[in-house]
């Protein structure tokens, strides 16, 4: 979690008022009236305060999930799927507590794969199915990590179209004091039963892909980060 907090300071303007009234006559006596006083005006500095709550302790928050396996169901039609959560889970909340609005950019990093024993994709060739021609095949097709944005703390089906692709960003402007963006995520293991648009599954090939991944892939990871920039002024009308 990060917190960028502006230091509230004050600028005190001291006004000195000096009034001189001279040349006044009272009766036949020459008199001079003089008075002196002081006053003050205070200008507060608009607070800047953006917070991010999540599983990390810095602006770059590692997104961590529990263990995941493929579906154990028999093939019926379409690809078998199994997700960590039944619906996307809230992983981070970014709140603008500032006295000015904030333009916020959320960035989701590329998925990185860690292999069993510290190996690499290029060295783990034993028994690797022909379909897995590159590392990207795993994250593009089988282990699907999905991110979504919304405004509430609970998942809503209306957020399903609010996708933040891995390796991309999302921008929004948060209103002062109360503006919030929520980030939800899920990971789904998609067993490659079907071939292109065919409804007939090749379960033997699909199971071989799942087995190789289960034997060789240890974990997936990516980062979620944000930046915030002032997007309004106080006072809004400089002439106010």
Query: 185-208, pLDDT tens digit by residue?
Result: 999 999 999 876 666 778 999 999
Q: What are the structural domain ranges in the chain?
A: 2-44, 49-230
Q: pLDDT at position 62, please?
A: 63
Please say if the pLDDT value at position 172 is more than 90: yes
Q: What is the pTM of this model?
A: 0.77
Q: What phi-psi label fits residue 231: left (phi over 0), alpha (psi between -120 and 50 degrees) or beta?
A: alpha
Q: pLDDT at position 240, please?
A: 52
CA distances from 109 to 60, 167, 179 (A): 10, 5, 24
d(CA 189, CA 226): 27
Residue 25, C-beta contacts closer than 8 angstroms, at least 6 positions apart: 31
Nearest CA among 82, 84, 152, 145 for reference residue 113: 145
The first and second tokens of residue 142, run together, are 């089988």
Q: pLDDT at position 49, please?
A: 86
The first and second tokens of residue 156, run together, are 């809503």
Compute the average pLDDT of residues 14-27: 34
Q: Which of 144-183 are b and which e, b meaning 16 or more Cβ less than 10 Å from the residue's Cβ?
A: bbbbbbbeeeebeeebeebebeeeeebeeebebeebbbbb
Q: In whole numbers, what is the pLDDT of the chain averaged over residues?
A: 80
The first and second tokens of residue 62, run together, are 């590692």
């Amino acid at each position: 979690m990060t917190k960028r907090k502006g230091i509230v300071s004050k600028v005190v303007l001291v006004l000195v008022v000096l009034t001189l009234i001279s040349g006044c006559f009272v009766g036949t006596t020459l008199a001079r009236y003089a008075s002196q006083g002081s006053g003050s005006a205070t200008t507060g500095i608009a607070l800047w305060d953006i917070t991010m709550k999540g599983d990390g302790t810095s602006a770059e928050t590692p997104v961590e999930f529990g263990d995941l396996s493929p579906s154990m169901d028999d093939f019926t039609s379409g690809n078998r799927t199994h997700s960590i959560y039944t619906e996307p889970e809230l992983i981070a909340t970014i709140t603008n507590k500032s006295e000015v609005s904030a333009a916020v950019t959320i960035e989701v990093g590329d998925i990185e794969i860690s292999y069993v024993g510290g190996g690499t994709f290029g060295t783990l060739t034993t028994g690797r199915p022909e379909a897995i021609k590159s590392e990207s095949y795993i994250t593009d097709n089988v282990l699907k990590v999905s991110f979504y944005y919304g405004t509430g703390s609970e998942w809503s089906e209306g957020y399903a179209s609010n996708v933040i692709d891995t390796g991309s960003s999302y921008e929004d402007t948060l209103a002062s004091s109360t503006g919030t963006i929520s980030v939800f995520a899920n990971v789904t293991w998609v067993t490659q039963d079907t071939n292109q648009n065919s409804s007939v599954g090749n379960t033997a090939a699909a199971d071989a892909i799942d087995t190789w991944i289960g034997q060789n892939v240890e974990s997936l990871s990516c980062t979620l980060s944000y930046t915030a920039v002032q997007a309004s002024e106080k006072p809004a009308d400089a002439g106010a």
